[in-house]
């Protein structure tokens, strides 16, 4: 990559740096997490952490893979972590479900970001029953509670996703000029 005069080159640069940073930060976060979850007998979270880090390492090293394949795999890692945490730990997974739409906006564009936002909302609705007791009493109908939580989540996610997408479209136009 010579110069960084178009958005595609900037996105590729961001992905490369992001993978390295997430690998380091993920390792730092995974070590105490694995120790704690193994003490509590939640070995599936420890396995998930190890699998996510291994997958991330391979993705980081395989720079020859097409850019879109690398991004989609990166997003899949985040979804895997979110779903595992949703099933084993609870509401903490919401943090992870917000990342794919924002990262997709930055790395792929607005349309893929909105698809990722929809996927995150669906995962949240389907998984909300696993942490129903951790939610504030919003009624006795779990489906209504799940839909309300997902609606609020989706509104915040759309705000972040559309802001990133709009900003990048403007920057791209500026670079083209």
Q: What is the pLDDT of residue 134?
A: 52
Structure tokens at 100: 């794919």
Neighbour-count burial for 61-79, b at 16+ CB within 10 Å, e otherwise: eeeeeeeeebbbbbbebbb
| More reliable by pLDDT, 98 or 5 | 98
Could you tell me the two tokens for 13? 């640069």
**Prediction pTM value:** 0.81
* 2-48 pLDDT per residue, tens: 455 677 888 898 999 999 999 999 999 999 988 998 998 889 989 99
**What is the pLDDT, as a whole number, of residue 90?**
75
Residue 72 to residue 120: CA distance in whole angstroms: 14
- The region of weakest confidence among 93-102, 136-145, 158-167 is 136-145
Q: What is the pLDDT of residues 63-87, one digit of tens each?
A: 999 999 999 999 999 999 999 888 8
Residues 16/44, Cβ–Cβ less than 8 Å = no
* Per-residue pLDDT tens over the stretch 103-119: 999 999 989 999 999 99
């Amino acid at each position: 990559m010579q110069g960084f005069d178009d958005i595609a080159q900037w996105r590729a640069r961001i992905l490369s740096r992001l993978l390295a940073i997430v690998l380091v930060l993920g390792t730092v976060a995974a070590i105490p997490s694995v120790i704690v979850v193994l003490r509590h007998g939640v070995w599936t979270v420890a396995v998930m952490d190890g699998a996510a880090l291994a997958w991330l390492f391979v993705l980081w090293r395989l720079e020859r893979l097409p850019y879109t394949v690398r991004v989609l795999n990166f997003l899949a890692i985040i979804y895997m972590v979110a779903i595992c945490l949703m099933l084993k730990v609870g509401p903490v997974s919401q943090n992870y479900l917000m990342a794919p739409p924002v990262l997709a906006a930055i790395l792929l564009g607005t349309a893929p970001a909105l698809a990722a936002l929809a996927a995150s909302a669906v995962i949240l609705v389907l998984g909300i029953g696993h942490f129903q007791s951790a939610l504030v009493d919003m009624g006795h109908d779990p489906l209504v509670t799940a839909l309300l939580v997902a609606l609020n989540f989706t509104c915040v996610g759309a705000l972040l996703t559309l802001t990133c997408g709009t900003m990048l479209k403007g920057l791209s136009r500026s670079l083209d000029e």
